[in-house]
Amino acid sequence: MGASGLTWTYHIKPNIKFENGRTVTTTDIKYAVERTYAKDVLPNGPSYFALLLTDPKYPGPYKDKTPGKLGLKSVDTPNATTIVFHLRKPFADFDYVVSLPQTVPVPPARDTGANYQLHPVSTGPYKFQNYTLDKQLTLVRNTEWDPATDSNRVQLADKIVVNLNVNADTIDSNLIHNFAHIDMPGTGVQAAARAQILSSASLRQNADAAPSGFLWFTYINSKVKPLDNVHCRRAVEYAADKVAYQTAYGGPVAGGSIASTVLPPNIVGHQKFDLYEATTKPHGDIAKAKQELAACGHPGGFTTSMAFRSDRPKEKATATAEQQALSKAGIKVTLQGYPSGKYFTNFAGVPTFVHQHDLGLDIGGWAADWPDGYGFLYYLTAGEAISPAGNTNIGELNDPVVNKLFAKAVATTDTAARNQIWSQIDRPGHVGRRHPAGCLREVAAVPESQPDKRICPSLLRHVRLRIPRPEVGHRA
């Protein structure tokens, strides 16, 4: 990092090979970074580079008219193993940003836009043999990979077969009977398998429930009426039955502990608080919910819709449980299920779709891009994170105070001081003119110390039940 915090220089290892034998250079990494700007072609994934680098208006390589389609001026490649990033403003966590998969080198000549997912060109120990979208992926050894250049990975199995869109109970059965070794989503076993594991000493010996730092929650969209009224959002928070939510994800053993904060305890910056009685009244407080309904002009309740991933049994159970809980306060919820593969690209992650279909509530989950408050909170709560597709700030919180706190944090080089700011975003904190700052906008208990224009509903910290398999790896 340069003295100003605006220039970051990295050097890559020489003689790394693509699967076709061509040597990787830093222009391949620059091109990969350029692809992250092309949200019209590649809507998923974070937008850190477009937000942080000096040319945010760069259109992406597919509209780039410069020779080689390498017109991103904020990234220099002075030689084949050196790459330099130029930032608009200091960003103390930039090392984390460049460690994300978005800097995996992409050879421009092999890029096929959205279809590149069908055969990305490997630099690791395995490469694609074939891939049928949404059905099956087969990986085989990459003969161009040199273990001498890679101390982090090994090449053990000759072939790895990944079956997609498999019934969740079938996955659990296959893991238990050693027909499969890993569940890639890693969100825990279903109820039947959990009961089987907990009642068997041998199976239980190969299982764990390690804290993951993962959160299950329901987004509350602050633009969908009447949830644009903070009191209506509070009503949802008070009416939500956190125990029923937890039970739908597997109960205390597999479903995790009930959370009253957005930041999990294992994320730097976490501070404990319980604004909406999530832990003291975990079944909800209907009386307070009705008070908030009266305050928002809907004393008899209101109607809205809830999105969930229809091919995830736990999410369906969660949606049903929340529907029943909210109905006790007079809030009528229509459930809308959508496929996981397009949940964020076509449905819950598209603000226009959310508004048009009255999706005031949307079930989701989140794990930090990196283990501090920015890595966890930014894409859920920052106004700049709102995007027309692949949106992660599904609550559409765009609060000036929260946005300013993010700007202050990333410019703060003192680690301890920076970490104090994350709790201000997560919880109520008086900033400036006693403006409450903080709220995982619709992920969980909204940090609000007085009436404000943002609020969030039920949030669980998720602890996953995992089944390690000694042959290859473990279920996560």
Q: Which of 38-47, 118-127, 290-299, 450-459 has the lowest mean pLDDT?
A: 450-459
Pairing of strands 303-309, 435-436: unpaired
Closest CA to 422 of 454, 455, 378: 378
* Residues in Cβ contact with 86 at an 8 Å cutoff, skipping those fewer than 6 apart: 6, 7, 53, 54, 73, 74, 75, 76
Per-residue pLDDT reduced to its tens digit, 209-218: 667 778 889 9
**CA 206, 211, 216: angle at the middle one, nearest 5?**
115
Residue 440 contacts residue 426 (beta carbons within 8 Å): yes
Residue 415, number of CB atoms within 10 A of its CB? 11
Please give the Cα distance from 97 to 101 (Å, whole number). 9
Please give the Cα distance from 323 to 306 (Å, whole number). 8
**Which tokens in the block code for residue 96?**
């984390």
Residue 231 contacts residue 288 (beta carbons within 8 Å): no
Bridge partner list, 160: 139
Respond yes or no on whether the N-terminal peptide bond of residue 226 is cis (omega within 30° of 0): yes
Res 71 pLDDT > 80? yes
Residues counted in the chain: 476
Higher pLDDT, residue 432 or 183: 183
Residue 284 contacts residue 239 (beta carbons within 8 Å): yes
Helix or strand run (H / E) with residue 287: helix 286-295
Residue 104 contacts residue 24 (beta carbons within 8 Å): no
* Per-residue pLDDT, 449: 23
Higher pLDDT, residue 132 or 1: 132
**Which tokens in the block code for residue 217?**
């929650």
Pairing of strands 303-309, 361-366: parallel
Higher pLDDT, residue 130 or 428: 130
Please give the Cα distance from 43 to 345 (Å, whole number). 7
Give the 3-state secondary structure of residue 84. strand
Please give the Cα distance from 429 to 434 (Å, whole number). 8
Res 233 pLDDT > 90? yes
How many percent of the chain have pLDDT more than 90? 55
**Which tokens in the block code for residue 290?**
């009705």
Bridge partner list, 361: 220, 306
* Per-residue pLDDT, 266: 86
pTM of the predicted structure, to 2 decimals:
0.69
pLDDT band at 427 (very low <50, low <70, confident <90, very high): confident
pLDDT band at 183 (very low <50, low <70, confident <90, very high): confident
The owner of tokens 């301890």 is 416
Higher pLDDT, residue 53 or 476: 53
Higher pLDDT, residue 427 or 132: 132
Helix or strand run (H / E) with residue 252: helix 251-254
String of DSSP letters for 340-398? GGGIIIIITT-HHHHHHTT--EEEEEE--SSSBHHHHHHHHH-GGG--SSS-S-TT---
**CA 303, 379, 376: angle at the middle one, nearest 5?**
110
The owner of tokens 């990295």 is 10
**Mean pLDDT score across all residues of the chain:** 85
Please give the Cα distance from 393 to 39 (Å, whole number). 16
Rounded-to-10 torsion of CA 349, 350, 352, 355: -20
Please give the Cα distance from 458 to 345 (Å, whole number). 24
Please give the Cα distance from 252 to 450 (Å, whole number). 32
Sign, CA dihedral 353-358-363-364, equals: positive
Per-residue pLDDT reduced to its tens digit, 328-382: 999 999 999 999 988 998 999 999 999 999 999 999 988 888 888 998 999 899 9
* Per-residue pLDDT, 78: 96
Could you tell me the domains of the chain? 7-113 (3.90.76.10), 211-463 (3.10.105.10)
Q: Which of 131-140, 146-155, 334-343, 408-417 has the lowest mean pLDDT?
A: 408-417
How many percent of the chain have pLDDT more than 70? 89
153 DSSP 8-state letter: -
**Which tokens in the block code for residue 136?**
């099956």
* Per-residue pLDDT, 216: 87
Higher pLDDT, residue 255 or 462: 255
* Residues in Cβ contact with 198 at an 8 Å cutoff, skipping those fewer than 6 apart: 204, 253
Closest CA to 211 of 274, 265, 260: 265
String of DSSP letters for 184-245? SS-----HHHHHHHHT-HHHHHT-B--EEEEEEEEEE-TTSTTTTSHHHHHHHHHH--HHHH
Res 424 pLDDT > 80? yes
* Per-residue pLDDT, 466: 28
Per-residue pLDDT reduced to its tens digit, 151-178: 999 999 999 999 988 888 899 999 898 8
Buried b / exposed e along 201-219 (16+ C-beta atoms within 10 A): eeeeebbebeebbbbbbbb
Closest CA to 426 of 451, 406, 453: 406
Per-residue pLDDT reduced to its tens digit, 274-327: 888 989 999 999 999 999 999 999 999 999 999 999 999 889 999 999 999 999
